[in-house]
Amino acid sequence: DRVVDRSRFEATTATVGGVPSWVARTGYTGEDGFEVMCPASQADAVWSAFVGEPTAAQPCGLGARDTLRTEMGFLLSGQDFDPESEPRTPYEAGIGFVVKLDTEFVGRDALETQRESGGPTETFTGIKLLDRGVPRNGYAVTDGDLTRVGHLTSGTMSPTLGEPIGLGYLHESYAEPGTEVSVVVRGDEKRAEVVEPPFLDR
C-alpha cells in the first residue's frame, strides 16, 4: 500500500529516508497532509528525505503553522484554552462533540450541569476585522459602544484571505455569524464581524 492511498485520519507504517516510521494522514493546519513519527535519534534522516533533493520542500516554522491553524479555527492549547489563564469546558471551546456523558470521567458532573442549565454563556468563534488593524491575543471585543462582550485568544493577518482574523470567546448573544462587533486595538475600537470558523475551505 502507498501512504498517499490512506484515507484521512488513517495511519500506517512506512520507511522514510531509510527510517521505519509511523505515517498518519492527519495534521494541525487544515491542509491535506501527513505527520511522520520516528525515533528522535533518526529524525535527521527523515528531515533530510523531505528538504533535500529531489523534493526540495521548503521548511517553515511555528508562525506558518499558527497562521494556518487560525484560518481553520483550530484551538491552540495554552492559548485558546489553558487550565490557569483560560480555563474552558469543551462546550465553551466548541468541541462538545467529544464529550460522552454516558460514561464516567473526572469532571462529568460539571459538564452535565453546564449542558442541562442551557449551555455556556460564552462560546469560541471567529471574527474578521472590517477596519485596519491586526487582532491579537487578549484584545477585548465590544458591542461597538465600549461594552465588553468577549475577548480574543488568537489573531493574525491572514495572507491567504488578505484580511485580519481572530479567534476568541464571545457572549452567546453576540456569537451569531454576521453580528457586527468591535475589537479594541491599542485603545481604538475597530469594526469587526463574527465569522464561524473555518475562515476558508482547504
User: Does the structure show a pLDDT above 90 at 152?
Assistant: yes
Give the global pTM.
0.89
Of 73, 78, 67, 128, give the one whose Cα is nearest residue 95: 73
Helix ranges (H only) for 73-135 are 108-116
Going along the chain from its start, the domains and CATH numbers come out as 3-59 (no CATH), 96-195 (2.40.30.110)
Of 131, 172, 128, 173, give the one whose Cα is nearest residue 152: 128
Q: What cell numbers appear for 159 in the block?
A: 495572507
Which tens digits make up the pLDDT trace of 2-45? 888 899 999 999 999 999 999 999 988 988 889 999 999 999 99
Gap between the Cα atoms of 51 and 40, Å rounded: 17
Q: In the predicted model, what is the mean pLDDT of the chain?
A: 94
User: Does the structure show a pLDDT above 80 at 93?
Assistant: yes
What is the structure's pLDDT at 58? 84
> How many CB atoms lie under 10 A from the CB of residue 150?
25
